[in-house]
Structure 1
Amino acid sequence: MDLEKYPRVLIVTVNPLSTTSNNGKTYDSFFKGYPKERIAQLYFHREIPTSDVCENYYKISDEDIIKQFLSRSENLGRKVYRADKEERLIPEKINNKMKKSAIVRFIRSLFWLSLDFEKNGVKNWLDKFDPEIIFFCGGNANYLYNNVLMLSKKYNAKIVYYITDDYVLPYFSLNIFDLINRHWTQSVFKKMCKNSSLILTIGDKMSDVYKERYGLVSKKIMNLVQIKEKIILNNELKNNDLQFVYVGGLHSNRWKVLSFIGKSLERIEKKGFKGTLKVYSQHQPNEKILREINNKEYSRYCGSLDSEGVKKVLEESDVLVHVESFDRSSKKITCLSVSTKISEYMASANCILAVGPEDVASIEYLLETESGFVMNSMENEDLDNKIINIFQNPDKRVKYMENALLIAKKNHDIEVRRKEFQQDILNLKNLK
């Protein structure tokens, strides 16, 4: 392999590359097969990376910023390895409560403005790697953007800017700190777009909306997955005692919709249709959410899964559940985003049930591609009838499963789409 033709890519993101967690898994799918010697990741979270796609990681977390502030240390952050253990100064329960406060998020952003890539440790690490391309996904971490632009200028590195969630479209709020944070993010977002050589989005809806509103030209790229050939036969499908499974985050009030599904399964059993919902999520929910999800034998939180566990559960389930919350505050984040789980669900060639508002991108995607049973209502009778429809219509289940597999091959095939992505990276190396 001619390593010199591959530009040195510095991945700058909030979360590390991962085999299990949302965005980290998406970045992992993009860079599989890229020479490890030509990749490094700088990230800003206490989490430890689990991906072997990269072997050169540098971490700066809240704890590192606090230590620097208290001790006035000349060093900032450290190199990390997959065998390391996560460090935590702030207990997880307290941290989760603090994240819900707009004023706390704003103060934290101000605190992070002290971030300085000229500090010992991180400066030496960056100088040694000397990036040619910076792959950046910053989300609403507005305090990172100007630092990334400075890195680009210092190392004469081109920027590939990836946008996965919307934090910039205007929306009404009575919370002044929410509005300040969003205005700040919008400002640095526009500057980042102006200085990027390639802009990527999570899907067609985001690309279309941003082109119309901001004049941005972008390419879509979603989570990439291994596609398996699978023939689906009607006589292989059970018509009762179905196992429904949800794998994903419980944030953005998704847990409320899962609780709603569990209650529906309890009601329809009286009509002769038996089903159970198993919920898997990386982080254990608090007591209140657990009480809502755990509904007798009809729905239950079953813990977290590693990458192999996810594959096994997806293969063995009868119906894969995706949910999006109907409340306005949750929709403002998820409106333009296609969940990383959608591609995995499609590639599994199993039946999909999606419950959520029709104007959220993940739900739109499944509707437009006819890839699953989709419910846009929170009315008990509507959901009961939709789930009963799954039990009674194996032909429709097969049709949706086949459609989903075709879409997975078209839009999410890791063998095809990562080659396109990595070729774009190679093309940037020679771009003047």
Structure 2
Amino acid sequence: MLQEVQRVESSLSGDTHLIEEADLNNKSHEKRVLIVSNNPLSYTENNGKTILSYFANWDAVDVMQVYFRPEMPDAVCGASANTTVGMTFFQLTDRQVLGKKSGNIFTLNVKDVQQELSAISKSHQPQSVSRLYRANIRNRAWIKLLREIPWKCYSFRKKNQQLFEAIKAFDPDLLFFCAGDALFSFDIVKDIINTIPMALVLYITDDYILPYQDTGLISSYRRSLIRKNMLEVADSADMIFTIGKKMKQTYESSYGIVSESLVNMSEDHYSVTPYPDQTSDTIWQLVYAGGLHYDRDLVLGRLIRAIESVHKRVGRTCFHLNIYSSALIDKQRIQALDSSVSTFCGHVKASKMEEVFRSSDVLVFVESGDLKAIRSTALSLSTKVPEYMSYNRAILTIGSMASYSVEYLRPYSLYAEDRADAIEAQLLQIVETPQLLQQLASQAYSQFKRDHAPEQVKQAFRNVILDVKRKRS
């Protein structure tokens, strides 16, 4: 992927003089924002998609991004993205740090991204065992702690003077930090802020800091380090956003972190597709789209068994489950999701998924009831929540109420605890009372319009960002 970055830099070399000659200090933009996050901007992946949703199509700001993953951005935003100058990115990866190399600075505009997406084909087939092994190893607490050592020994400022020069040329009003569990990212943010005065906005999307007593010494120690850094950055931040009301309330009561609740949003995908009248051959189409980590594949397995049980009980085929995911799990676990009542469909393009959602009868949302999985989802609101609600389709929610996403969805969906018998009961309710589907779909869509419609969420976010005052030296 390093070669990919260099190739993009090379392809843009013809426009370098435009970058040098452009008036980078043009004050026609109300705000200049430096984003620091683990993931690059993206239309599909992780926090890159969430961050993009807040800054896309906002002419009043210009944007630059610093990120730490090996992949290329597949999206751009900010005023410069629509010019020949392009949006500026800085990428620094584990491999570069291990080799004591400098990070890469490159620019992309809208046209460049379109060309890249056309040129690069991505495989979404089940991954090989060796790659799975590496991915699973990387997620272990002791490996994550070891990962921090080369970053701690890396002379970030000395190796990346060109970044600091680029930031000074960009002249940001504020740094928007999407904080994760990488300790080195906190050090980098503090280094930038201490060198170049600007306001700091902290955005927390997942809980990495609440202490748990039975997670093991290494995991507990690592969380304590993240907590120390998070609280230090929060103390110096000019504004803090948390992902939802539950995190906002928990962090304020536990740590005195005063924040604004920034809910996930989605485009409005309202579907007028009517629900089918029940006949002796009606087969309701259930759709799950999303990750299979945190044991979500095991929950889907229980749903599959519940469907099979219902079919035996009523004496006919009533449901079929289609599972869409580009998850990094082994082939055996994926094959377990293929059955006579379910199909593992892999990954499809976003435009195709819209068609799938619109033609579905029930969208399936799951979270495992396993204690470890619950801890990972207790305070977070999944991006799938507003997305599902936006389609005016019924939702089947399976999981523990200890998960904030499950708690949030329960009033607007068919709800079952993470047990086969509870899931079966909800499926039977669909068979016995099919008119309930449209009623629940309407309730979920109404809640989407109240709290997650992009116009109001973006406007509230942008008003806060524009109100953040720039710090001067």
1:323 paired to 2:362 = no
Q: CA deviation at 1:420?
A: 1.6
Contact 1:256 1:292 in 2 (8 A): no
1:256 paired to 2:295 = no
1:403 paired to 2:435 = no
Q: Which of residues 340, 346, 351 in structure 1 aligns to 2:394?
A: 351
Q: Which of residues 405, 409, 412 in structure 2 aligns to 1:362?
A: 405
Letter in 1 for 2:309: R
Q: CA deviation at 1:313?
A: 1.7
Q: Which of residues 147, 152, 156 in structure 1 aligns to 2:188?
A: 147
Q: CA deviation at 1:306?
A: 2.5
Q: Which residue number corresponds to residue 49 of structure 2?
A: 25
Q: Which residue number corresponds to residue 462 of structure 2?
A: 422
Q: Which residue number corresponds to residue 347 of structure 2?
A: 304
1:194 paired to 2:221 = no
Unaligned runs of 5+ in 2: 1-25, 79-86, 123-128
Letter in 1 for 2:452: H
Contact 2:240 2:260 in 1 (8 A): yes
Q: Which residue number corresponds to residue 69 of structure 2?
A: 45
Counting only pairs closer than 5 Å after superposition, residues 2-17 of structure 1 correspond to structure 2 as 4-17=28-41
Q: Which residue number corresponds to residue 106 of structure 2?
A: 79
Q: Which residue number corresponds to residue 293 of structure 1?
A: 337
For 1:79 and 1:91, locate their aligned partners in 2 and report how far apart those are by CA, in whole Å: 32
Structure whose CA Rg is larger: 2
Q: Which of residues 94, 107, 116 in structure 1 aligns to 2:146?
A: 107
Q: Which residue number corresponds to residue 92 of structure 1?
A: 131
1:179 paired to 2:206 = no
SS in 2 for 1:200: strand
Once the two structures are overlaid, the 10-residue window that deviates more, 328-337 or 94-103, is 94-103
For 1:381 and 1:225, locate their aligned partners in 2 and report how far apart those are by CA, in whole Å: 33
Q: CA deviation at 1:245?
A: 1.0
SS in 2 for 1:40: strand
- Normalising by structure 2, what TM-score? 0.83
Q: CA deviation at 1:200?
A: 0.7
Unaligned runs of 5+ in 1: none
Instruction: Output the aligned Cα RMSD.
Output: 2.5
Identity of aligned residues (%): 27
SS in 2 for 1:386: helix
Contact 2:293 2:327 in 1 (8 A): no
- Normalising by structure 1, what TM-score? 0.90
Summarize the Cα distance change of 1:104–1:130 in structure 2 as closer, same or farther, 3 Å threshold: same
Summarize the Cα distance change of 1:335–1:11 in structure 2 as closer, same or farther, 3 Å threshold: same
Q: CA deviation at 1:319?
A: 0.9
Summarize the Cα distance change of 1:348–1:229 in structure 2 as closer, same or farther, 3 Å threshold: closer
Q: May I ask how many residue pairs the two structures share in their alignment?
A: 420
Contact 1:159 1:197 in 2 (8 A): yes
Contact 2:31 2:61 in 1 (8 A): no
Letter in 2 for 1:177: I
For 1:278 and 1:235, locate their aligned partners in 2 and report how far apart those are by CA, in whole Å: 18
Letter in 1 for 2:149: L
Once the two structures are overlaid, the 10-residue window that deviates more, 242-251 or 181-190, is 242-251
Contact 1:30 1:418 in 2 (8 A): yes
Q: CA deviation at 1:391?
A: 3.0
